[in-house]
C-alpha cells in the first residue's frame, strides 16, 4: 500500500500540491487503543510528502486537539487545504467534541489552521463555521447520534469571485434516514464564512454523504464522495456502499445525489482524485473492510481513472 504507518490506523486523507511535492494530510490513531472504532474520538492529523504519489516520507503530526471542551477538544478530523491569494496555505478541518466517554455522541464544527510552507501549522481560534438549525439538523433533533457538520472541501470559483465550502451535513427536514445533504458556505476572503442552504435535498438515498471533492477530469467536472452500506437508505437501501461519483455542472449549483454512481465498493473508502505531473487522474483511498469484517487502514497506491462514454468516472482496466 502506498502509505501505511506502523502502530497506527490510517484512514481519511486529503492532498495539496506545491508543484514540487505532493503533500498528504491523513487521520491517524494508535492501534494501542485496541478497538478500531475508538480511532474516531482519538484522531489526529499527520503529514507526509512524495514526488510520485507512491513513495512517501512521513513528517508526523501537524497539531494536537484543542483544550477539553473546545470545538476540537476530542479529535481533529477530515478537511482540505488551499493556498490563498496572500500566499498563505489554509487547512480547513473538522473539530470533533465527544460529549460522553461511553458513547459516540459528538458535535462537529469547522476550524482552520494556517501555514506559510505546508510544514508548520498554526490553528486559528474557532470554529469558523457551525450548523445553523435554519437549514441543518443539530444534535438531538433526530435519532442521528451526532451533529454532522464536517469534511470541509474548499475551492475558488472565478465566476462569482467567491470561495466555496462543501460540507458533510444533514437537513433539518425530511425522512430521518435520508437527511444527508451537501452543505454549503461561502467566503470572499477565506476568513469570513457565511452559511448557505444545502445544495441538495433530503430524500436522496443517503443518511450522510462524506468527504466531498470537486474535480475536473478530461474537461468535465465531477463530485466525489463516500457513504457506507449502513448509511444508505431509501432508493439505495440494501446496496453496497463505498466511493461514489457523478458528473456535475458548475458547482455550486443544484446537486441530485440520486444520480451518483458507485466508483469503488467500500473495501476502499474516502477516495480522493489526484493528478500526476502529466495531468492523468488517479483514485486514492484508504483500505477499509477486511474479509472478516474488521478494519484495515492504510492508503492505497494510485488507481488509474477514465471517463466513460456516459460521462461518469470509472476505474481504468489493467492492461
Question: In this model, does residue 42 exceed pLDDT 80?
Answer: yes
* Residue among 192, 123, 124, 179 nearest 149 (CA): 179
Q: Give the three cell numbers for residue 226.
A: 463516500
Burial class (CB in 10 A: 0-12, 13-18, 19+), 143: exposed
pLDDT of residue 171: 98
Question: DSSP code of 232?
Answer: B
Secondary structure of 52-80 as H, E, C letters: CCCCCEEEEEEECCCCCCCCCCCEEEEEE
Summarised one tens digit per residue, pLDDT across range 216-229 is 999 999 999 999 99
In a domain, 2, yes or no: no
- CATH of residue 33: 2.115.10.20
In a domain, 248, yes or no: yes
Q: Give the three cell numbers for residue 182.
A: 451537501
Overall pTM surpassing 0.95 (yes/no): yes
Supply the range of the domain harboring residue 86.
8-315
Q: How many domains does the chain have?
A: 1
In a domain, 246, yes or no: yes
Question: In this model, does residue 35 exceed pLDDT 60?
Answer: yes
In a domain, 55, yes or no: yes
293: region left, alpha or beta (phi > 0 left; psi from -120 to 50 alpha): left
Summarised one tens digit per residue, pLDDT across range 252-301 is 899 999 999 999 999 999 999 999 999 999 999 999 977 777 898 999 99
Q: How confident is the model at residue 104 (pLDDT cuts 50, 70, 90)?
A: confident
Burial class (CB in 10 A: 0-12, 13-18, 19+), 204: buried
In a domain, 281, yes or no: yes
In a domain, 91, yes or no: yes
In a domain, 200, yes or no: yes
In a domain, 105, yes or no: yes
pLDDT of residue 133: 98
Q: Give the three cell numbers for residue 18.
A: 506545491
Amino acid at each position: 500500500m502506498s502509505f501505511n504507518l506502523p502502530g497506527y490506523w490510517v484512514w481519511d486523507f486529503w492532498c495539496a500540491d506545491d508543484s514540487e511535492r505532493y503533500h498528504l494530510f491523513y487521520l491517524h490513531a494508535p492501534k494501542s487503543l485496541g478497538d478500531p472504532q475508538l480511532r474516531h474520538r482519538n484522531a489526529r492529523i499527520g503529514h507526509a510528502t512524495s514526488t510520485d504519489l507512491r513513495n512517501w516520507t512521513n513528517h508526523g503530526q501537524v497539531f494536537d486537539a484543542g483544550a477539553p471542551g473546545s470545538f476540537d477538544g476530542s479529535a481533529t478530523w477530515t478537511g482540505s487545504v488551499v493556498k490563498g491569494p496572500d500566499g498563505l496555505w489554509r487547512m480547513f478541518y473538522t473539530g470533533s467534541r465527544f460529549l460522553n466517554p461511553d458513547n459516540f455522541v459528538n458535535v462537529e464544527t469547522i476550524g482552520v489552521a494556517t501555514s506559510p510552507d505546508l510544514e508548520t501549522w498554526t490553528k486559528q481560534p474557532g470554529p469558523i463555521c457551525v450548523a445553523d438549525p435554519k437549514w441543518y439538523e443539530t444534535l438531538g433533533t433526530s435519532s442521528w447520534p451526532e451533529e454532522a457538520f464536517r469534511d470541509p472541501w474548499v475551492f475558488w470559483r472565478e465566476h462569482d469571485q467567491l470561495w466555496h465550502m462543501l460540507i458533510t451535513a444533514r437537513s433539518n427536514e425530511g425522512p430521518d434516514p435520508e437527511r444527508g445533504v451537501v452543505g454549503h458556505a461561502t467566503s470572499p476572503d477565506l476568513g469570513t464564512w457565511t452559511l448557505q442552504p444545502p445544495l441538495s435535498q433530503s430524500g436522496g438515498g443517503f443518511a450522510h454523504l462524506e468527504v466531498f471533492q470537486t474535480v475536473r477530469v478530461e474537461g468535465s467536472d465531477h463530485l466525489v464522495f463516500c457513504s457506507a452500506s449502513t448509511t444508505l437508505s431509501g432508493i439505495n437501501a440494501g446496496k453496497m456502499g463505498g466511493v461514489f461519483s457523478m458528473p456535475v455542472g458548475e458547482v455550486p449549483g443544484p446537486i441530485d445525489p440520486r444520480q451518483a454512481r458507485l466508483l469503488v465498493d467500500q473495501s476502499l473508502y474516502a477516495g480522493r482524485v489526484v493528478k500526476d505531473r502529466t495531468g492523468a487522474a488517479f483514485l486514492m483511498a484508504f483500505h477499509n473492510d477486511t474479509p472478516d469484517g474488521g478494519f484495515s487502514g492504510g492508503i492505497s497506491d494510485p488507481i488509474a481513472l477514465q471517463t466513460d462514454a456516459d460521462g461518469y468516472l470509472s476505474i481504468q482496466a489493467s492492461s
